Amino acid sequence: MAEFLIAPDPADPRLTRPVKGRDHDGRDVEIRVVEERPLTIFLNSQEIVTAMTIGDHPDLLAIGYLLNQAMLRPDDRLTGVDYDDELETVVVRTERATDYEEKLKKKTRTSGCAVGTVFGDMMETLEGVALAPTRFSVSHLYALAKKINTAPSLYLEAGAIHGCVLCAGDRPLVYMEDVGRHNAVDKIAGWAFRTGEPMGDKLLYTTGRLTSEMVIKTALMGVPALASRSGFTAWGVEIARKVGLTLVGRMRGRRFVCLSGAERLVWDADPAAVEEEDPRRHRKGALGDD
């Protein structure tokens, strides 16, 4: 795991717990299951949302969530990020005065979950996005898939979790996991904001479906390529083509499909030389079959 700047810590006792039960043969068993706890996010003095999360990197999750909801601006200056473990809250403070009362009221009025409002706001922020014409080697895609899928992770420890990995070349840099892939990518967005890391030469690997939400969040970060073991949604492909994002899915062993931005790929690998994946290496549903 030396390659990673941030990596999952399956041994962290806060993230999983042992639970006893019985298996299909009626035998007593004990397995580890992923924790799920609430985190309430404030922007200055205003409560924004309560998210369900595994609980690691609450500061990065809060910042990334606010960025992806267009409540934080890329040029905002933070004056503090305060996390209270006992109250399960994180407060992001900015120099700029903020008031999203009307926006939050609008979300409350849209059938309870506000998905339409959130999606509309995210789509509006895509206007003017220009992704770098960075090239990506197919040999690096194969190398990344192997490194990521064999790295120690909460998924391999307990399952029921998704991950996102920010990569440069053939090196995985920041590996975040959470109960929802949206949380995992928000953590990476928060890390990028705090570090100022350039995104124009990066690739994002996600363990879930290549949906419209994942495509939008990747593009908003300025990352020009998104890859996954899993498949595509039609709207995800349509948006990727609209913004010029390279979209690679169904990465299994030597196989993959690129449905957008194939002109960025450098075909420098012989698929026949790539080791086929052993399906027994991962649990059913592993790394993005969902």
Query: Which tens digit of pLDDT belongs to each residue from 101-135?
Result: 777 766 544 333 434 445 556 677 788 899 999 99
pLDDT, residue 169, reads 96
Contact, 106 vs 112, CB < 8 A? no
Question: In angstroms, what CA-CA distances link 6 with 27, 55, 153, 210?
Answer: 38, 15, 12, 23
Question: In angstroms, what CA-CA distances link 195 with 36, 63, 114, 188, 289?
Answer: 27, 12, 30, 10, 31
Domains in the chain: ranges and CATH: 37-125 (3.10.20.10), 136-281 (3.40.140.10)
In the structure encoding, which two tokens stand for residue 130, read together?
Answer: 């220009």
pTM here is: 0.88
Provide the percentage of residues in the chain whose pLDDT is more than 90: 74
Q: Which of 187, 189, 211, 229 is nearest to 53 (CA)?
A: 187
In the structure encoding, which two tokens stand for residue 274, read together?
Answer: 């790539």
pLDDT, residue 114, reads 39
The span from the CA of 262 to the CA of 258, in Å, is: 6
Query: Which tens digit of pLDDT belongs to each residue from 196-232?
Result: 999 999 999 998 899 998 999 999 999 999 999 999 9
Average pLDDT over residues 134-159: 92
Query: Which tens digit of pLDDT belongs to each residue from 182-198?
Result: 899 999 999 999 999 99
pLDDT, residue 138, reads 97
Mean per-residue pLDDT over the chain, rounded: 88
Query: Which tens digit of pLDDT belongs to each residue from 42-71?
Result: 999 999 999 999 999 999 999 999 998 889
pLDDT, residue 278, reads 60
pLDDT, residue 287, reads 42
The span from the CA of 210 to the CA of 196, in Å, is: 26
**Least confident range of 41-50, 153-162, 238-247:** 153-162
The span from the CA of 154 to the CA of 137, in Å, is: 28
Radius of gyration of the chain, Cα coordinates, nearest whole angstrom: 19
> Does 2 have pLDDT greater than 50?
yes
pLDDT, residue 279, reads 52
Query: Which tens digit of pLDDT belongs to each residue from 21-31?
Result: 999 999 999 99
Query: Which tens digit of pLDDT belongs to each residue from 231-240?
Result: 999 999 999 9
> Does 288 have pLDDT greater than 70?
no
- The pLDDT confidence band at residue 284, using thresholds 50, 70 and 90, is very low
Angle at 55 between CA 49 and CA 61, to 5 degrees: 50
